[in-house]
Structure 1
Amino acid sequence: MPPTSAPAGSAPAAPTDRVGKPRPRRGEGQWALGYREPLNKNEENKKNDDGLNVRQRIIDIYSKAGFDSIDPADLRGRFRWFGLYTQRAPGIDGGKTAVLEPEELDDRYFMLRIRIDGGQLSAAQLRTVAEISTAYGRDTADITDRQNVQLHWVRIEDVPAIWEKLEAVGLSTMEACGDTPRVILGCPLAGIAADEIVDATDQIQQVYDDHIGSPLFSNLPRKFKSSISGCSSYCTNHEINDVAFAGVVGPDGTPGFDLFVGGGLSTNPMFAKRLGTFVRPEQVSEVWAAVCSIFRDYGYRRLRHRARIKFLIKDWGAEKFREVLEKEYLGYALPDGPEPELQEGLRRDHVGVHRQRDGRNYVGFAPKVGRVSGTKLTRVADIAEAHGSDRIRTTADQKLVILDIEDDQVDSIVAALEAEDLEVRPSVFRRQTMACTGIEFCKLAIVETKAQGASLVEELERRLPDFPEPITINLNGCPNSCARIQVADIGLKGQLVTNADGEQVEGFQVHLGGGLGLTAGFGRKVRGLKTTAEELPDYVERVLRRFLETKEDGEAFATWVGRAEDSDLK
């Protein structure tokens, strides 16, 4: 079946029993194997109405009649197809996260996720996002590790006006969340990096134009995360995306992409499987659609926690997945190709001042744990334009980059950004600490993360001002790993812990020694290794000092963790 076929056409005849009557088929709810009846409430909601249809109800009904008019199936389901989640009601502690019903956790305000495919923004687009933040979101804004911007405190009454403003400058919230193809990650330096393998800008745009918002892909088993990048630093983290096209030079010297499928973290982390194919740039959209179609048709729909594509490819293996891709969906074989040439110790965040291929410069800078504001984003747009740039980029590490800065403007733009507490030459802790949204707004969270992360950065800068190693520290408010805790040097998973007085308080389970690239791994968990939030700076300082005292010359933190005694990690 080609990927452009309607999903309804994918079901063969149902099996029968010995007397010829249809026999119920439970299995994993895979459409391609004949089972189309919903096996859980989420699947039932999607069958009842496509999530894309909620847009008109928001415009015509909910924005006019208010929060109380919203159908619960839309509120906690289909709203996500347009980037809307109810945020956590204030005052509910982390111990109640898994106890209360969804309606008890819901606030009457929304988080709104704006998708920024490839992380590409003009100054006008950034200024529009900033204006929406200040007018409708109480001046909140977070840069995510998916290159999106998230706003908070959004009222349903204001959503149509927000969409109108976004769409006027070419932005959207469509399929920013939900069981859909979410934002497509891309290198923020696409088209300008001196060491770029291939510019994937056109491929990202074509996939967006061809497939995003299509009813063919608006009912997937779960979320579907993509990256398409020709960056030689592999900054979009192809190892942990559902589908990833990573830049390589093909057998004949032509640049193209290596194809990876099935990466993801959360409570069952898995690295993507390399299929071993070489994909030419003009094939990317078709191959992307074929992979997404396999997920749609063969993906597991019975249990939500097993519905990501990583579980399918784990069961099938890369060889079978490639065979199905080529024979059932593409109708042709892809050639074998080379794998990416990863480099040791290469940072992926594009922070600092660096030369572009055209002789100008890009300037990457670090907000503290991704937290900014509409006011600050307005200043970034102002600063970019004052220094001759109309191109601002978001990164997959909660950072921002301004392109196209002439040599004689570099000192001025660096000074202007750092005056706004946007560090171009940040400490290792400012540069490499990330935090998810946390309990402040997220209904899944157990602990606070943004303020905790910012405070941790400040404490470590004070205590270890000259720390020389590129340590990554990622804080997550729950087990879902939105902040990629399993692939950080120090990953902190929020949970309630018992303090010295026997009280249940906010704290973290500690993961150590994770990483991507040549040192890819999910790190080490030492039995019982936890810390309270209050003691977190003391713990991190202690383990980093032990690392410096006992590491071998040139030894990375992850390598040291792998051989360290448990006592050195506590």
Structure 2
Amino acid sequence: MSDTAPLRARGNPTWDEVLRRNSVERYKQQKHGYDVIYDLERYGTIPYEEIPEEDILRMQWWGIYHDKPKVGYFMLRIKIPSGILTPQKLRVIGEISQEFANNTGELTTRQDIQLHWVRLSSVPTMFALLEQNRLTTAGACGDNMRNITSCPVAGIDPEELFDVRPTVEAFARFFYGNRQYGNLPRKHKHTIAACPYHCNAPEIHDIAWVGTIQDGQEGYACWVGGGLSATPRIAKPLGVFVPKDEALEVARALIDLWQEDLRYRVSRAKARFKFLIDDDGVEKTRQRLEERLGRKLPDLREVPVPKGRTDHMGIHPQKEKGLYYVGFPCFPGLMRGDQMVKIASLLEEFGGEFRITREQNFLLTGIPEPRVTEIVERVSQIGFPLQTHPMRATSIGCTGSPHCNYAVGETKMKLIEIVDHLEKRFGPGLGSIRIHLDGCPHACGQHWVGDLGLQGTTRTLPAGRVQAYDVIVRGGLGREAGIGKPILRRVPTQEVNQVVERLVGAWIARRTDGESLPGFFRRLSDEEIQAIAAGQELGSGQG
């Protein structure tokens, strides 16, 4: 039976079959991914080419990935629960970047910080500095619980339903570096928030804990089976209400259902948690969960619905009277080490925090009201002006070229080029449309759910092979949650700006009152969208 058949139809595989068909599972059986840490100091002293390839793979368990090209430089991903850093922790990361990572820094959609141009000989010293400051890379990559994301204003937002930080902290303490959950079938992504806007994108997570209040009790609606990559899915409500103090127990039970089911270890391509939900459905998954827990969970009487969309940018009052937070665009997620140190010094003056957003931006919190204008100006001088085009706060680009070995097209630099073009063409009236650009199908930049998504690919022209992009429309999150559709295939890179301009221009000219860009595309046929992209007029009555 082929690997594309439903997993339920394949029966129950044995470990012998798993190990025969899946080389990564063999590597993990031979040596746990976390155990590569005992070899890192030695690997920093020998020629790079002599390191076993399977240990290069295991380094992912400690947040270490090849930089491109594979000549001995690496990316290091620092795992930051909820993306919240004290000034001291931000300073340490900035200093590490300056000394060991060519002054690089990248804020990610999972609220991590990534450093590039790292040599293995530097890693033991970097790890020691991180550990001294209660920072970790454990499980930042590999088959682990990845960084737990949340609303960046958790605990300080006057609108939040309740403070989820204790839940996030409990999850992080339990899962980060836990060997029992360090050999999952594939990577696993959780998000926990009680933001009324669902800014943390619960729709695209393996398991999302969506804050809600039922019968006066604070707890979570549990959504399951979301995810992107080459087979994108929108998460589904499991139909249960989970009190706050039971969330970790329920999370463990759900993960155990998946990690103990050998159906999801046979093929890496079909190993993600979302395929369990595809195969068993939410009703059977709930039944299996409750059997494992030994009790029924309360029914969720109302699925939480976001009140709108927000990126938490700009100046906002906090819960505590007289304090403000300010969200600064960091387009496209790039922040140098020296900039981190300067911002840390600024935060130390008033005891605020640095918080990373899903859109690769950052917030400064705890700013006394009389100092807001001053702080905004000083952050602008560091390189992050608050007054900028809204697209620079809402558009996302993956790591891509020049660092990622999977990328086949320009990412961050191409995104800057597109946004520059649209800004010059349409001005500030264009508003905060969300352009998400990825260099490959892995969807780290979440191109499936942007207002307009682009995925890097290649195209063969008479003159040879060139970079190109698939253009994805009708995707979205929140009230418009849905997976986009690739309407335009392999658009050569030199034509992308003009194609995007035509699509956006048609929306501006023909949108109804308050109609979003995805909403506009949803009421057009594929052929109409393709005609707009080609510069052809819409026919009578279209759009």
SS state of the match for residue 483, structure 1?
A: coil
For residues 139-182 of structure 1, the C-alpha deviation after alignment (integer angstroms, 9 at most, x for no partner) is 11110001011111100000000001111111000000001111
Q: Is residue 534 of structure 1 aligned with residue 514 of structure 2?
A: no
**Alpha-carbon contact 2:400-2:439 (below 8 Å) kept:** yes
- Local SS of the residue matching 2:279: helix
User: Which residue of structure 1 lines up, in the alignment, with residue 503 of structure 2?
Assistant: 543
1:484 corresponds in structure 2 to 446
d(CA) in 2 for partners of 1:114, 1:407: 32
**TM-score, normalised on structure 1?**
0.88
Q: How is 1:420-569 mapped onto 2 (pairs within 5 angstroms)? A: 420-498=382-460, 502-526=463-487, 528-564=488-524, 565-566=528-529, 567-569=531-533
1:29 to 1:442, Cα distance in 2 relative to 1, 3 A: farther
Q: 2:105 aligns with which of 126, 138, 141?
A: 141
Letter in 1 for 2:29: K
Shift of 1:439: 2.3
More divergent stretch after superposition (128-137 vs 449-458): 449-458
Distance 2:420 2:314 in 1: 20
Aligned residues of 1:414 and 1:424 also touching (Cα < 8 A) = yes
Could you tell me how far apart the structure 2 residues matched to 1:343 and 1:229 are?
12
Aligned pair partner of 1:227 in 173, 180, 191: 191
Instruction: Give 1:246's aligned residue.
Output: 210
- How many residue pairs align between the two structures? 521
* Aligned position for 2:379: 417
Equivalent residue, structure 1, for 2:34: 52
How far 1:458 moved relative to its partner? 2.2
Separation (CA, whole Å) in 1 of partners of 2:99 and 2:422: 35
**Counterparts of 2:387 and 2:142, CA distance in 1:** 37
Q: After TM superposition, give the deviation of residue 34 of structure 1 in Å.
A: 9.5
Aligned counterpart, 2:540: none
Change (3 A) 1:394 1:484: same
Deviating more after overlay: 294-303 vs 462-471 = 462-471
Alignment of 1:175-214 (within 5 A): 175-214=139-178
Deviation track 1:314-353 (CA, whole Å, cap 9, x = no partner) reads 110000001111102x122110124453345422x21111
**RMSD of aligned residue pairs (Cα, Å):** 2.0
Task: State which drifts further: 111-120 or 210-219.
Answer: 210-219
- Cα 1:26–1:40 change in 2 (3 A) is farther
Question: Is this contact kept in 2: 1:118–1:185, CA < 8 A?
Answer: yes
Q: 1:531 to 1:421 in 2, by over 3 A?
A: farther
Aligned mates of 1:184, 1:43 — CA distance in 2 = 24
**SS at the partner of 1:361?**
strand
1:71 corresponds to 2:44: no
| Alignment partner of 1:257 out of 220, 225, 243 | 220
CA contact (8 A) 1:30 1:297 kept: no
TM superposition shift of 1:212: 2.3
Separation of aligned partners in 2, 1:471 and 1:227: 24
- Per the alignment, in what secondary structure is the counterpart of residue 29 of structure 2? helix
Task: Give the Å deviation of 1:553.
Answer: 1.6
Give the Cα–Cα distance (whole angstroms) in 2 for the partners of residues 504 and 539 of structure 1.
Answer: 20
Q: Which whole-Å CA distance do the structure 1 matches of 2:132 and 2:303 have between them?
A: 39
| Shift, 1:28, TM fit | 7.2
- After TM superposition, give the deviation of residue 30 of structure 1 in Å: 5.6
Distance 1:273 1:139, change over 3 A: same
Q: Identify if the C-alpha distance between structure 1 residues 210 and 233 changes in structure 2 by more than 3 Å, giving closer, same or farther.
A: same
Separation of aligned partners in 1, 2:469 and 2:271? 27
* Secondary structure at 1:65 match in 2: coil
Q: CA deviation at 1:530?
A: 4.0
Query: Residue 460 of structure 1: SS of its match in structure 2?
Result: helix
Mean CA deviation greater in 416-425 or 398-407: 416-425
Secondary structure at the residue paired with 1:558? helix
How many Å separate the matches in 1 of 2:302 and 2:257? 23
Whole-angstrom CA distance in 2 between matches of 1:206 and 1:479: 33
Structure 2 CA distance, aligned partners of 1:560 and 1:289? 41
Determine if contact 1:28/1:303 at 8 Å carries over to the other structure: no
**Structure 2: how far apart are the matches of 1:249 and 1:516?**
22
How far apart, in 2, do the equivalents of 1:184 and 1:283 lie? 17
SS in 1 for 2:453: strand
- Aligned residue for 1:134, secondary structure, equals helix
Q: Verify: 1:303 aligned to 2:267, yes or no.
A: yes
**SS class of match (1:474):** strand
Is the 8 Å Cα contact of residues 524 and 561 (structure 1) preserved in structure 2?
no
Please give the per-residue CA displacement for 1:192-246, whole angstroms capped at 9, x wherever unaligned.
1101112111111111222322221111110001111111121211111111101
Q: Between 412-421 and 64-73, report the one with greater CA deviation.
A: 64-73
Compute the displacement of 1:66 (Å).
Answer: 4.7
The correspondence for 2:317, drawn from 355, 358, 364, is: 355
Verify: 1:284 aligned to 2:240, yes or no: no
Quote the Cα distance in structure 2 between the aligned partners of 1:26 and 1:561. 37
Q: Residue type of the partner of 1:520?
A: A
How many angstroms apart in 2 are the aligned matches of 1:449 and 1:207?
33
Deviations 1:26-65 (A, max 9, x none): 947767x996645311010011111111111113x21233
- Structure 1 residue identity aligned to 2:493: A
Question: Counterpart in 2 of 1:151?
Answer: 115
Structure 1 residue 569 displacement after superposition: 4.0
What residue identity is the alignment partner of 1:70? I
Q: Match for 1:294 among 257, 268, 276?
A: 257
1:398-444 Cα distance to aligned partner (Å, 9 max, x none)? 11011111111111111112223313233122111110011201111
Structure 2, unaligned runs of 5 or more: 1-7, 535-543
Question: Residue 280 and residue 303 in structure 1: after superposition, are their counterparts in 2 closer, same or farther (change >3 A)?
Answer: same
SS of 1:411's equivalent? Answer: helix
Shift, 1:111, TM fit: 0.7
SS in structure 2 of the partner of residue 283 of structure 1? helix
Which amino acid in structure 2 is aligned with residue 284 of structure 1?
Answer: A
Q: How many angstroms does 1:288 deviate by? A: 1.2
Equivalent residue of 2:73, what SS? strand
Change (3 A) 1:159 1:336: same
1:379 match: 342
Gaps of 5+ in 1: 1-24, 90-105
Q: Distance in 2 between matches of 1:532 and 1:108?
A: 32
